[in-house]
A and B are shown apart, each in its own frame.
Chain A
Amino acid sequence: MRGNVYLYIILMAFVTYLIRMLPLTLIRRKIRSRFLQSFLYYVPYVTLSVMTFPAILNATMSPWSGAAGFVTALFLSYKGKSMIFVSLMACAAVFLLELVIA
């Protein structure tokens, strides 16, 4: 690592806090721009999708177990299960598959 880790941490904390603090303190009336409203509404879905796939395939010992965890998470999320349940079951799926294949 070349950069200073503490500087990385302080910088990201500062940026993240500003993002959370500025709208809450500066904006008191409703946002008008329909484009901006729509853009902000879609952002988390795109970001989290891009971050999840295909990275999840490389998160475990084998792409197959990563895929098993992914499918499990998608299925249980679609069923409306709670976040912690989805998370634990995806881990369990990876663990079980790796017992068989690895």
Chain B
Amino acid sequence: MAGRGDLVKKGMKDGIPIALGYLAVSFSFGILAVKAGLTAPQAVLMSALNVTSAGQFASLSVIAASGSYLELILSQLIINLRYSLMSFSLSQKIDQKAPFVHRFIAAFGNTDEIFALSSAYPGPTPPWYIYGMMLSAIPGWVAGTALGALAGSVLPLRVLSALGVALYAMFCAIIVPPARENRTLLWLIVISMAASLLFSLLPPLREISSGTRVILLTLGISALAAVLRPVKEDEDAG
């Protein structure tokens, strides 16, 4: 059995690619946060406390529009609901012999990418390995946010414009690869984007705020897909 130090070291090493990916994406998040009216310290605080790309990104539109606290809570709940599935899964995978308190700490770092590597760990996942990944990935996320928020204003407009797509491109990199071998997912993505386009164009629907649009479409389309195409009992839902 590997010692704590070795597990943390291994986690930190495996977490380096995650940190690099986060750096690029959180850089554009920092830029967007300042554009939405946050100060650099506020953007950094948000990144340090949340560590969630899609959720933080969605919160900006709510905050910029002075949305209600309820709208913010609901949008976070629905956008980050996927983490509950990952936590369900991790609850089975995390080392059962480790003290219970570790679950409260590991939960904070259960991002899409850390979850993916935790799941790939051979055998029960030791909490110390997860902490190692958190020690690489979270500083990357926070540092990128700070750089984006501070340097965003001194970068040329063309570079800013180009970085505007970084976050969306990352989302594509998350949803597209599993859709290659799964026609249901492929159609789900096409239908979701088409519905989103309709909601942004049609006169009565386009009045709905973008945060609420995400909630409504996610609930509706996911529920429909769950009824029409339920996943198999032991299909890997990660």
Contacts and interface: CB of A to CB of B under 8 A. Distances in A.
Q: Do A and B bind each other?
A: yes
Interface of A: 1-3, 5-13, 15-17, 19-25, 27-28, 30-31, 34-56, 59-61, 65-66, 69-70, 72-74, 76-78, 80-84, 86-92, 94-95, 98-99, 102
B168 to A, nearest CB: 4
Given A11-B69, A52-B168, A54-B197, A77 B177 contact: yes
Contact of A87 (B25, B63, B110): B25
A11 B214 contact: no
A81 to B, nearest CB: 7
9 contacts: A9-B45, A13-B46, A20-B110, A23-B84, A43-B82, A46-B192, A69-B165, A70-B168, A91-B169
Contacts of A89: 169
Query: Could you tell me the dominant secondary structure of chain A's interface residues?
Result: helix
B226 interface: yes
Contact of A42 (B67, B80, B225): B225
Given A51-B54, A59-B164, A60-B161, A19 B83 contact: yes
A2 B65 CA distance: 9
Contacts of B94: 24
A60 B226 contact: no
Given A12-B59, A74-B172, 20 more contacts: A2-B66, A10-B49, A11-B76, A12-B55, A19-B80, A19-B87, A21-B104, A23-B87, A24-B91, A35-B230, A41-B85, A44-B112, A45-B175, A50-B217, A61-B157, A77-B172, A77-B177, A86-B169, A90-B165, A98-B158
Nearest to B56: A12
Given A55-B210, A73-B173, A94-B165, A12 B226 contact: no
B55 A8 contact: no
Nearest to A13: B49
A34 to B, nearest CB: 5
B58 interface: yes
B121 interface: no
A42 B179 CA distance: 11
A20 B107 CA distance: 5
Of the candidates A51, A69, A76, the one having the most CB atoms from chain B within 10 angstroms of its own CB is A51
Contact of A65 (B104, B161, B217, B235): B161
